[in-house]
């Protein structure tokens, strides 16, 4: 018998109603469901969800996340170490990470109850910030990391190296390094390509480049990317999955490679990436 964990973003509109429907569905089928209540889980806390729910590690077979893409990104980063399948139910706007919408929920929950699902492993980014030859912090990202200027800054320069080979100096508002999963996020808005999320590669996309020839570059997932910031005394930020931020200084280096950690996202045979892509982009 399955033991399913339910992690809602309680601050989302209609979260209570959706959680009640999910609880009713599984209780009718005698499937154990453990829900993280609002007193246990705070998505706006700096404390990892793994530390907020320590006893879940050994007892869960699958995790259902109720929220938008931001909610799923947080769960993915914090709980990737548990190596559990994650299913997202979308309560946000147009999202690509949440596998199903609330209107279709019961049909797909039935698939979960009868084991009619698979898991797609998504690659993640291992990102490390170096300053004066010292590693300051390390981050895990599912979507992307972004080096960008502050709100009142001038243009910045970001030098890029692939396996220590110089690739390009990007002048503009910044640079995005995205996974295939993140190719439908900020990178897409900046003009980057859409990539099948099961592939193993990086998408490097400039933000508002001050050049006519700067375009996205596809990098092998086995390569190592090094970015060096020339801030010229202006404000520059490193952003991880649009949620974690760190101030950068002139000369800082950001090292990006494929993480050994992956995220298992639940998928269904009759709801492929290309069908979802058509539906999301048409909406």
* CA 208/CA 251 separation, integer angstroms: 21
Residue 58: strand, helix, or coil: helix
HEC string of 143-163 equals: CEEEEEECCCCCCEEEEEEEC
Residues 264 and 267: their CA atoms lie apart, in Å, by 9
Determine whether 37 is an active site residue: no
Handedness of CA 109, 113, 116, 117 (dihedral sign): positive
Phi, psi dihedrals of residue 24, rounded to the nearest 5°? -65, -40
Q: Rg for the chain (alpha carbons), in Å?
A: 20
Residue tagged active-site, from 23, 37, 69, 173: 69
Using a 10 angstrom Cβ sphere, with 0-12 exposed, 13-18 middle and 19 or more buried, the burial of residue 282 is exposed
Which of the residues are catalytic? 69
């Amino acid at each position: 018998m399955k033991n399913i964990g339910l992690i809602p973003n309680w601050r989302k509109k209609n979260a209570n109603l959706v959680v009640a429907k999910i609880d009713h569905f599984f209780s009718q089928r005698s499937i154990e469901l453990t829900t993280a209540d609002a007193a246990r889980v705070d998505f706006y806390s700096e404390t990892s969800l793994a530390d907020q729910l320590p006893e879940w590690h050994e007892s869960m077979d699958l995790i259902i996340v109720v929220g938008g893409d931001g909610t799923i990104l947080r769960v993915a980063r914090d709980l990737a170490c548990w190596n559990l399948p994650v299913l997202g139910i979308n309560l946000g706007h147009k999202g690509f990470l949440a596998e199903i919408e609330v209107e279709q929920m019961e049909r797909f929950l039935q698939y979960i109850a009868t084991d009619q699902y698979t898991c797609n492993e998504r690659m993640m980014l291992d990102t490390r910030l170096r300053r004066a030859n010292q590693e300051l912090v390390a981050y895990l990202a599912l979507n992307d990391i972004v080096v960008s200027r502050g709100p009142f800054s001038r243009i910045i320069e970001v030098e890029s190296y692939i396996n220590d080979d110089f690739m390009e100096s990007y002048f503009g508002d910044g640079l995005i390094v995205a996974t295939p999963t993140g190719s439908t996020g900020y990178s897409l808005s900046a003009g980057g390509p859409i990539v099948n999320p099961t592939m193993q590669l990086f998408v490097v996309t400039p933000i508002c480049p001050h050049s006519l020839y700067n375009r996205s570059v596809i990098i092998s997932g086995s390569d190592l990317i090094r970015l060096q910031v020339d801030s010229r005394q202006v404000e520059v930020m490193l952003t991880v999955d649009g949620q974690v931020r760190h101030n950068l200084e002139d000369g800082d280096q950001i090292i990006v490679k494929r993480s050994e950690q992956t995220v298992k996202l639940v998928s269904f045979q009759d709801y492929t990436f290309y069908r979802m892509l058509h539906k999301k982009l048409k909406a």
